[in-house]
């Protein structure tokens, strides 16, 4: 039996977090959610995640800090940063800290699923 890809969605906005989680679950992924970096790091510690999809601005440590810490603990983990406050600096920092994808809010549902699918297929290659 093929294991479903496991994704952690992190956003302090519960509507965005739950909508993305539902979208990815319908697409066939196993999805867990977290409201902040602390909760996310606790969930990531259990291991077995293929992808981290995180917001940039949240209470406490930022999504960039989360990506950096998560990838330090699991270098195979892929990460996508989402933000409504993006610029060239944020995109460069995302890559510098280990992120592989970037989504500017607002985004369409098909943008999310296409990027997740593309990144997870790269991991298999």
Confidence at residue 94, expressed as pLDDT on a 0 to 100 scale: 82
* Cα separation, 82 vs 98, whole angstroms: 14
Instruction: Give the domain 6-124 fold.
Output: Rossmann fold (3.40.50)
Confidence at residue 49, expressed as pLDDT on a 0 to 100 scale: 97
DSSP 71-117: HHH-TT-EEEEEESS--HHHHHHHHHTT--EEEESS--HHHHHHHHH
Q: What is the pLDDT of residues 80-100, one digit of tens each?
A: 999 987 777 788 788 888 788
- Residues in the chain predicted with pLDDT less than 50, given as ranges, are none
Domain ranges of the chain: 6-124
pTM score, whole prediction: 0.92
């Amino acid at each position: 039996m093929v294991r479903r890809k496991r994704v952690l969605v992190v956003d302090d906005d519960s509507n965005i977090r739950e909508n993305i989680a539902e979208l990815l679950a319908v697409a066939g992924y196993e999805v867990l959610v977290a409201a902040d970096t602390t909760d996310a790091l606790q969930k990531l510690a259990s291991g077995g995640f293929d992808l981290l999809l995180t917001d940039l601005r949240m209470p406490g440590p930022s999504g960039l800090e989360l990506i950096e810490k998560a990838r330090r603990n699991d270098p195979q983990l892929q990460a996508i940063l989402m933000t409504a406050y993006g610029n060239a600096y944020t995109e460069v920092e995302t890559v510098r800290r280990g992120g592989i994808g970037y989504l500017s809010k607002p985004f369409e549902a098909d943008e999310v699923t296409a990027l997740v699918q593309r990144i997870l297929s790269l991991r298999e290659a």
